[in-house]
Amino acid sequence: MPAITVHDKSFETYLPEETILQRVKEIAAEINKDYAGRRPLFIAILNGSFMFASDLFKQLNIEAELCFIKLASYKGMKSSGNVVTSIGLEDDLFNKEVIIVEDIVDTGKTLHNFLPKLMHQQPKSLKIATLLHKADATEYPLQLDYVGFSIPNKFVVGYGLDYDGLGRNLKEIYQLV
């Protein structure tokens, strides 16, 4: 298997481009069926989900909206942990059919902290589509409605995912050797 180096680490091909695109098509087909006539709003979480969101959106044949947001975590006044805020969410979510688009769910902490803030706006429905899920690493309960691939608890790069800023442009997904 062809290996690549990103920064100081070696990675090997894990999911080839065709495999990813085929799975994205299948997820889009499910969403096309589930959301026919419902005009969902996709909220894609930057930076990692940009490629998945783009390829997924191209395969939709229903009416749908898309926005990109960035989540920022900062230390709160108390030592109780990180608070997550969103940047770029201008749409009013009241009564909307929302689908969150993520690149990867690892511990689940990011979405677990963020979802209550979205629920506060009273969307009509809220579902999660994630390309990758590290099931063994998940510590925070989350219902994942559309999952591309369940993967082992190993670091991956490519197809939007980075290692310390690099690797997002790779067409395939690579796993740490």
- List the catalytic residues: 106
Beta carbon of residue 141, minimum distance to ligand IMP (angstroms, whole number): 12
CB atoms within 10 A of CB 169: 10
Nearest to 6 by CA among 158, 171, 172, 152: 158
Contact map string, positions 37 to 76, toward ligand IMP, x by CB under 6 A: -----------x----------------------------
Contact map string, positions 96 to 135, toward ligand IMP, x by CB under 6 A: ------xxxxxxxxx-------------------------
Q: How far apart are CA 73 and CA 82, in angstroms?
A: 6
The four Cα atoms 82, 87, 90, 95 give a dihedral, to 10 degrees, of: -30
Q: How far apart are CA 29 and CA 19, in angstroms?
A: 15
In this chain, which stretch among 13-21, 23-31, 61-69, 156-164 interacts with ligand IMP, using CB under 6 A? Answer: 156-164
In this chain, which stretch among 5-13, 25-33, 91-99, 153-161 interacts with ligand IMP, using CB under 6 A? Answer: 153-161
Beta carbon of residue 63, minimum distance to ligand IMP (angstroms, whole number): 27
Q: Which is nearer to ligand IMP, 62 or 115 (CB)?
A: 115
Nearest to 140 by CA among 114, 162, 101: 114
Sheet architecture: strand order including 9-15? 3-6, 9-15, 173-176, 156-157
- Which residues bind to ligand IMP, rule: CB under 6 A? 48, 102-110, 155-157, 161
